Structure 1
């Protein structure tokens, strides 16, 4: 059945993406911490900062290798599992991915080789330049990938061509400077910075709790506390910007995140907690904070945020309009010289994607019943409960990390963190928090785009390849099994070298040297 093929294709891509994003945030964050540590070494000449760069760089390298391994296969899935998607929007979506490979990936891959093998071949300043370029390459890679993803969320700079029966780019710079993509980039990389800072802070706390390599751990702790506090503040501020961009381009996603069933008088209140009733399209109960949602979503006190009922009603009208576009397009497929069909398509082309939603219910869109149109309109809003609770979990985790990094920075400035075992234990046990926040953040972003692969343009149901269920079950099992092995390898290597600590460098200056050698 097509429904199962769609679900399995989505599940496979979601599984590989979530596995991949276990490695990406740490890469994004650790690389700038290496820049900071090496910069201090170049400026002061103090050996401990070079040792910090080399030790934390070793853990960074392990994570980078696993991140690359899991990331490459994701791009191939666009051709294997999402063939019609690749055909329909490949000219646009492929451009930033190609630039990422040619510009960013080669840069970061070259520089990471020089980083590890250039210590005895490059001067201090030359090696620092390599580390800076490695950081720039890593973040440029994230930029181009998120430009591609941002276009899926807000497809600007492109239009449908009836001659090629595909989407075609009209403005490369509109795609690059897409406000959704830019907000997503800065929010995502800031989350990565928090992840890197938490990683260094937690492991440094473990050393301090055990009284091992204290001076090394203290300096690492201080850098991670300051960098982490600045980064988590950025995540919160930029998260507000991301929320505003969602309110501008994806009103259904915003309404689902807030379980906002009806349009409220401006400025709308924020549902702190609620119990959504999907079937009844209402909340059984809620605790609201006045004005907050209106200020986040619109940056004003007079602009309304539409509720789910009103969004469904508006989208129903767009589906009726899109139905006309689909009928005209099918006529043009039969006869490219049909001027009446072309004029009809041009009149309703803006809603073509909404008309394609009816393909879920009937092969002949012209014969869609009012009940089919109602069902398609309801499909335009994602399930509320997963969106509502995922978003709140992400926010709660972010606020928890803000308090932790604030506490760590305060004690770091006062010089009392080594005498606060409770804070050190909390930092150690908080190690998983940024990964949890990143994962649920991607659930909000990607699940909230449904039922679209390209928002408002191409439904997910029409994007898949013609694969059998057996093939998808087999490939899904293979990916999950292989990625689980890679994750276990990563955890084993990370734990092993973290336990050895800077003694793994074999310099004779740290504990555990015998085991390291």
Structure 2
């Protein structure tokens, strides 16, 4: 690995993002489970459900605090490490992030406080509404983040303005309704629901194995298995939809995920396993399933999925065409202030502007892309191929865990329906051992989405190499070391707090229950 400013900035953002994403899925899923549990409490009046809500709420609170804290750091990095990116796309990118900040710090924070401190100061229904507000706020925060991220994957509703040298919004409605963002949102939150369900299932299974808090554990497992089964099926279905969109909008990512170097006749086969080789540009020992990739990627039997070699040639051609736009932009900018840009210059720029981002890939090799040699153009085209082995195996690991989660949840749903959750120990041991798998799948999914987008910060528009701040290598190295040290300490604290809360278990709830409607009665003196 070369320790250049681009690589180090990417490494820092990857480390902080992967760490932050340890907390996000559990927050999303536990908030919904808390709302379900408290709903049962309000409907039945049984205090065991109030005790359950408080217990799992404690674990939610520990996780929520660190999730918010690490999310703030990530947003600051856009200005610190990716200043040109922030300037270039701030008009589009800034609005969703600002709205997410309002959701997180005002709506979520307010109602989280009411959830923890309002149990005996609010009516049952009032507190339940606060719990639902926490769940809605948490999930809507994810929506705005994924709208911003979805635009990076599939930029719509914006155009480059050569006068301001920035991307500017042409339709905020298109940004909001970006089909990539919406699909990624439902896929991501469903993955969060699975993460929380497996977490609740595993902790409850641990209690049953030790014969502790049996009533709470059984009820928690029933809720987790039922909710988790629906969520795990949703993850698989929506993951399939995400794959279809990738094949439409990010063809190179799809080819890399599949390890497909040469274009196959339609419908393409799916490579179950294999060994991708970047040097020989092939996938060795591939085990193929006929037709499956064509059906997943195109929903048809006749549409061709292009291979890496074909896309590589197309991208090289787009770099050469983009040089026309880059050259026209320099003439555009050279026009004296107050004078009208020559019509032929404006026309030339408009003709080739969609390919200008490809010309900017050459900034990795030369200061002026117009001076690039044929060898440099070929190298820049090769840069559009992400590292295939990482994507190939990350995708298969994510998918494999996804199907395992469906089987796990279906098994415990069956045991719950038969009232046999504590009849056999081996399923409980599997549930405990499987607790980490949803987090691994979520991190692998992040790698597929973000690593697979390289070399682009904004797909097809702004290369990563052109998006970084003008910092020194020692400065970024220092921040990486600092973040790693601080985050390691925070992770130890998080794990210790969670384990302590789990060992302590649910506490007896001796407080008087709040009335269904209105305020608590004032106790007689």
Coarse TM-score class (shorter-chain normalised): over 0.9
**Corresponding position of 2:37:** 37
**Corresponding position of 1:388:** 392
Higher RCO structure (Cα 8 Å, ≥6 apart): 2
3-state SS of 1:120 partner: coil
Q: Report the Cα offset of residue 406 of structure 1.
A: 1.1
Alignment of 1:96-495 (within 5 A): 96-335=96-335, 337-339=340-342, 340-495=344-499
Q: Distance in 2 between matches of 1:280 and 1:323?
A: 30
Aligned pair 1:88/2:88, yes or no? yes
Q: Report the Cα offset of residue 484 of structure 1.
A: 1.1
Q: Distance in 2 between matches of 1:367 and 1:129?
A: 63
Q: Report the Cα offset of residue 399 of structure 1.
A: 1.4
3-state SS of 1:301 partner: coil
Q: Distance in 2 between matches of 1:483 and 1:335?
A: 50
Question: 1:261-305 CA distances to partner (integer Å, 9 max, x unpaired)?
Answer: 111111111000011111111112200001111111111111111
Q: Distance in 1 between matches of 2:302 and 2:277?
A: 28
Q: Unaligned 5+ residue runs, structure 1?
A: 509-517
3-state SS of 2:273 partner: strand
Structure 1 residues 490 and 506, CA, compared in 2 at 3 Å: closer, same or farther? Answer: farther
Q: Report the Cα offset of residue 342 of structure 1.
A: 2.1
Coordinate RMSD, CA, aligned: 1.5
Q: Distance in 2 between matches of 1:364 and 1:38?
A: 62
Q: Distance in 2 between matches of 1:272 and 1:81?
A: 38
CA contact (8 A) 1:264 1:304 kept: yes
Q: Report the Cα offset of residue 3 of structure 1.
A: 6.4
CA contact (8 A) 1:52 1:216 kept: yes
3-state SS of 2:505 partner: helix
TM-score (ref. length: structure 2): 0.95
Q: Distance in 1 between matches of 2:197 and 2:75?
A: 29
CA contact (8 A) 2:260 2:307 kept: yes
Q: Report the Cα offset of residue 133 of structure 1.
A: 1.0
**Corresponding position of 1:513:** none
3-state SS of 2:506 partner: helix
CA contact (8 A) 2:84 2:468 kept: yes
Of 272-281 and 499-508, more deviation after overlay is shown by 499-508
Q: Distance in 1 between matches of 2:258 and 2:189?
A: 25
Q: Distance in 2 between matches of 1:385 and 1:132?
A: 42
Q: Distance in 2 between matches of 1:104 and 1:295?
A: 39
Structure 1 residues 93 and 504, CA, compared in 2 at 3 Å: closer, same or farther? Answer: farther
Q: Report the Cα offset of residue 102 of structure 1.
A: 2.2
Question: 1:339-365 CA distances to partner (integer Å, 9 max, x unpaired)?
Answer: 132221111101010111111122222
3-state SS of 1:418 partner: coil
**Corresponding position of 1:500:** 504
Structure 1 residues 326 and 237, CA, compared in 2 at 3 Å: closer, same or farther? Answer: same
Structure 1 residues 485 and 104, CA, compared in 2 at 3 Å: closer, same or farther? Answer: closer
Question: 1:66-106 CA distances to partner (integer Å, 9 max, x unpaired)?
Answer: 10111101000000000000010011100111111224541
CA contact (8 A) 2:120 2:511 kept: no
CA contact (8 A) 1:262 1:309 kept: yes
Q: Report the Cα offset of residue 419 of structure 1.
A: 0.7
Q: Report the Cα offset of residue 401 of structure 1.
A: 1.4
Question: 1:194-228 CA distances to partner (integer Å, 9 max, x unpaired)?
Answer: 01101110000011001111111110111111111
**Corresponding position of 2:518:** none
Q: Distance in 1 between matches of 2:103 and 2:23?
A: 21
3-state SS of 2:34 partner: helix
Alignment of 1:51-70 (within 5 A): 51-70=51-70
Q: Distance in 1 between matches of 2:508 and 2:147?
A: 39
Question: 1:475-513 CA distances to partner (integer Å, 9 max, x unpaired)?
Answer: 0111111111111111000000101111376779xxxxx
Q: Which has the higher helix share?
A: 1
